[in-house]
Structure 1
């Protein structure tokens, strides 16, 4: 974990560091089973979803600083989860959803909000303690009937963080002006996170690209890049390792520039490796497959094709799926559009074109964008 000193006390460097530690120690801290992190549901992003042994759902919201509105935030999560009821195979929705707020200190308004609330909400207050040799997380349940205090050790990393974060350049702000509000917020958030990670981190700007690393020489190491294409659409690149992805038949641990898809709501995918530029081949494939996904969804919605063109679309669909399935079986990265094409169930029409039944794939899991950025930062630090 990355810890920083503020005055005479210690704290997690970022909220993501706090979340990483709680996620890794859910069993010891709360007796919970990890389920999902940064889980998106109906416009809300839940920090952590976990389960009790009886399959009761527990939602945890974490703050690294004081926050007056955490009860309202948990209420929105509760409402979205109750309405959508995701992950029903793993969660028993007959039991009430439990809500947990974790912060270094609670504002008096938090207690007022909880006092007049009908939902089950627990407040846990934490502090980072240090002795001569070790660091510890001390966490206390503020429920008056259960004042339990727990202390566990934090494996930490001493590192000098950069505090003098420069304001975004005019060039970056010009590109952001053409982006959606979600893209603007996401890029500025991660820029702040990346530049504050280490005092050696710099921003290297060009007309369409903003890289982050320790300088811009032949020996420099990069970790992140925001690249704006000809239409002004931002694309994220992260320097990640092949072995981290668990790719088959690859013994190399070298770092490569990976293109990342994101919905800018926390979900992300590694779509492929691009040594330089924007990845023209990936772009063309995504554009073509996006059209085919739309066509096939229309065929499924209309319960079949009506003409020769539809017949050709079905043949192409079968070829596309076979090619993408081979990539999947070889543990190669898939683009967002490739995953969506594999999810389309056109089984009832395959007999018309003389093919066998197509396997239906479901991809419930996406990577966390924040998690991928964290990995890229840690990989960068080890390469210096």
Structure 2
């Protein structure tokens, strides 16, 4: 197995490596008989199909990073299998289809989706442990109240080091010189991860951006980009799934980050920096300042100006509607929600705003991992 180190922990280099390992160890991990992998049925591709000894079908979906939509994926697989009923000579469809989700960590949204779902889905969380000599795959069923875990050894190949990575170009060094220390370190860490991922990965530089993919031809596939605006401020773009990364269709996504590990998929920009998005972010930033001033300053010059409250109500309704439709939201929109929930609890009726506090942020490392895995699948 190919393993890579991220911070102080280890992970599979790709989702395909995770699938290889689980497929090879289905019997030991779950007591299951391998049946099919990457199985296409009715427009869906199931990671792994397996059988219990009584011919009951088990569907396993694997993720190598955090993902909010694994319950929806398994639901689509269930529907396709029930409708087509393939491999009837080997599967007993009189028994219920069992669904299993396997991930290194589960998002709060996964548990909410599962709570109101009529199908029963097992959540298995895995960790890679390491000692001085060996690596181990440890997995736990989150639906069981006990602390029982399974652990098996991973035959591995260490891919942490890659001596072929070229040093940053003079152009990138000049750009980084105008960035903060946190931005410099964040960009260099992402660059290291991306260029270490695959020997086909290249760095393609231009006057204002540095792209990463398999060359610069018309048929090339990209996975990441650092773009520097007119003020020298770096913006990260990743090639992720549409519909807030829930779709298999890929597009260039603009990413906000605090350079401390938190990130947010803000929207999709086919080229350039996204002037319309930048303008909207600036407008919302100014509106947030006004609402903060209204909340904290009794002598605010905005007090008595009802147009600001009316505009705030429109903003909140629009943002909540986007969230309910699983659409991307910008960092400034999240901040407006937080201001409303903390300082204007009676302005927006229904109390729904509070449910969106602090749970919309992703990990920048996690998003980069997803972009790399999607890039590899597109090659």
TM-score by structure 2 length?
A: 0.60
1:303-382 alignment runs, 5 A limit: 310-345=305-340, 346-347=343-344, 350=347, 359-361=352-354, 362-365=356-359, 366-382=361-377
Structure 1 match to 2:239: 239
Question: Given the alignment, which residue of 122, 127, 138 partners 2:134?
Answer: 127
CA contact (8 A) 2:10 2:129 kept: no
Q: Which residue of the partner structure matches residue 203 of structure 2?
A: 203
Match of 1:190 in 2: 190
Structure 1 residues 137-148: aligned runs within 5 Å: 137=137
Tell me if 1:212 matches 2:205.
no
- 1:329 Cα shift? 1.6
Q: Secondary structure at the match of 2:322?
A: helix
Q: Is the 8 A contact 1:16 1:370 kept in 2?
A: no
Q: Against the structure 1 CA distance between its residues 282 and 178, is the aligned structure 2 distance closer, same or farther, given a 3 Å change threshold?
A: same
Aligned equivalents of 1:307 and 1:158: distance in 2?
A: 60
CA deviation after TM superposition for structure 1 residue 196, in Å = 1.1
CA RMSD of aligned residues (A): 3.8
* Structure-1 separation of matches of 2:186 and 2:173: 13
Distance in 1 of aligned mates of 2:173 and 2:131: 34
Output the CA distance in 2 between the equivalents of 1:232 and 1:164: 29
1:228–1:169 Cα change, 3 Å: same
- Helix, strand or coil at the partner of 1:216: coil
Shift of 1:17: 10
Q: SS state of the match for residue 197, structure 2? A: coil
User: Does the Cα contact within 8 Å between 1:270 and 1:333 map onto a contact in 2?
Assistant: yes
> Would the aligned equivalents of 2:244 and 2:327 in 1 still touch at CA under 8 Å?
no
> Which has the larger displacement, 254-263 or 309-318?
309-318
Q: Give the superposition deviation at 1:234.
A: 0.4
Match of 1:14, SS state, is: strand
Provide TM-score, normalisation by structure 1: 0.59
Which of the numbers 253, 260, 263 marks the counterpart of 1:258?
A: 253
Q: Tell me the alpha carbon deviations over residues 196-233 of structure 1, each in whole angstroms, 9 at most, x when there is no partner.
A: 11110000000110000000000000000000000101
Which residue does the alignment assign to 1:270?
265
Q: Does 1:302 align with 2:318?
A: no
Q: What is the 5 A alignment of 1:220-231?
A: 220-231=220-231
Over 3 Å counting, the alpha-carbon distance change for 1:316 and 1:193 in structure 2 is: same
- The residue matched to 2:271 in structure 1 has which SS? coil
CA distance in 2, matches of 1:309, 1:278: 37
Q: Is the alpha carbon distance of 1:268 and 1:155 closer, same or farther for their aligned partners in structure 2, counting shifts above 3 Å?
A: farther
Summarize the alignment of residues 47-66 of structure 1 with structure 2, pairs less than 5 Å apart. none
Aligned to 1:70: none
- In the alignment, the residues of structure 1 paired with residue 105 and residue 160 of structure 2 have an alpha-carbon distance, to the nearest angstrom, of 32
Check the 8 A contact 2:337/2:357 in 1, yes or no.
Answer: no
| Alignment gaps of 5+ in structure 2 | 13-17, 23-28, 30-64, 67-103, 107-127, 139-149
Deviation at 1:313, TM superposition (A): 1.4
Cα distance, 1:242 vs structure 2: 2.3
